[in-house]
């Protein structure tokens, strides 16, 4: 049981999609062991603690599922795909200090995105960046932090609240591409 707890913690730390299902199996295993022991010797305190454990486990499972579904953690392509991840590319420019890197979006949501580089580049996690997007001559600009790095392939970006008033930000860009029907599934 302790080994499976370490396995779930390791997978959660490495942000694997399998984590939420192994966590669910782990919770069910603990629950079944406790229920078997309750059949042998009924105890109201243990039953109450099991109920509290299940409530906390449910909310942790929901939080884990929401976190793992963020676009910044999912590049939306497998590492061994033969072709480019996206047929229609939404171009972006990433600025980190003096470094400018061109790329395109492969996954996005309201608060994050994943960008694949057009050329080789090295960026580190937790680096502050500026993301610039151009669409139909309209410029969008957003600040963010790198949350995921796939070396020489791409980065996941979580957006920070931007107070720049001269340039539209990610929320306006997201609304525009959503209204136009751009979805990851349709651009692949």
pLDDT tens string 168-187:
777 777 777 777 777 655 45
Q: For 117, left (φ over 0), alpha (ψ -120 to 50), or beta?
A: beta
pLDDT of residue 170: 75
In a domain, 11, yes or no: yes
| CA–CA gap between residue 172 and residue 170 (Å, rounded) | 5
Residues 104 and 183 occupy one common structural domain: yes
Domain count, the chain: 2
Contact 61, 27 (CB under 8 A): yes
CB-CB neighbours of 176 under 10 Å: 16
The upper half-sphere exposure of residue 135, i.e. CA atoms within 13 Å in the direction of its Cβ, equals: 20
In a domain, 172, yes or no: yes
pLDDT (tens digit, 9 = 90+) per residue, 118-140?
Answer: 777 777 778 888 888 877 777 88
SS (H, E, C) 137-156: CEEEEEEEEEEEEECCCEEE
Question: Average pLDDT of 76-101?
Answer: 71
Model confidence at 77, pLDDT cuts 50, 70, 90, reads: low
Residues 97 and 10 occupy one common structural domain: no
For a pLDDT cut of 90, what percent of the chain falls above it? 15
pTM above 0.85, yes or no: no
CATH of the domain at 144: 2.40.10.220
In a domain, 82, yes or no: no
In a domain, 145, yes or no: yes
pLDDT of residue 72: 79
Direct distance between the N- and C-terminal alpha carbons of the chain, in angstroms, rounded to an integer: 41
pLDDT (tens digit, 9 = 90+) per residue, 21-59?
Answer: 888 988 999 999 999 989 898 889 999 999 999 999 999
Domain that includes residue 183, residue range:
91-187
Question: Average pLDDT of 141-165?
Answer: 80
Model confidence at 162, pLDDT cuts 50, 70, 90, reads: low
């Amino acid at each position: 049981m302790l080994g499976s707890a370490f396995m779930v913690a390791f997978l959660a730390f490495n942000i694997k999609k399998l984590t939420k299902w192994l966590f669910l199996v782990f919770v069910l295993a603990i629950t079944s062991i406790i229920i078997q022991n309750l059949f042998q010797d009924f105890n109201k305190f243990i039953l109450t603690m099991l109920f509290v454990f299940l409530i906390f486990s449910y909310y942790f499972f929901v939080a884990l599922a929401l976190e793992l579904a963020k676009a910044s953690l999912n590049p939306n392509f497998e590492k061994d795909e033969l072709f480019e991840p996206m047929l229609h590319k939404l171009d972006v420019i990433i600025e980190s200090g003096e470094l400018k890197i061109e790329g395109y979006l492969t996954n996005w949501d309201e608060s994050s995105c994943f960008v694949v580089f057009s050329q080789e580049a090295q960026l580190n996690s937790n680096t502050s960046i500026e993301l610039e997007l151009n669409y139909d001559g309209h410029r969008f600009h957003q600040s963010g932090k790198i949350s995921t790095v796939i070396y020489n392939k791409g980065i996941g970006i979580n957006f920070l609240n931007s107070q720049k008033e001269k340039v539209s930000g990610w929320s306006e860009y997201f609304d525009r591409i959503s209204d136009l029907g751009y979805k990851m599934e349709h651009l692949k």
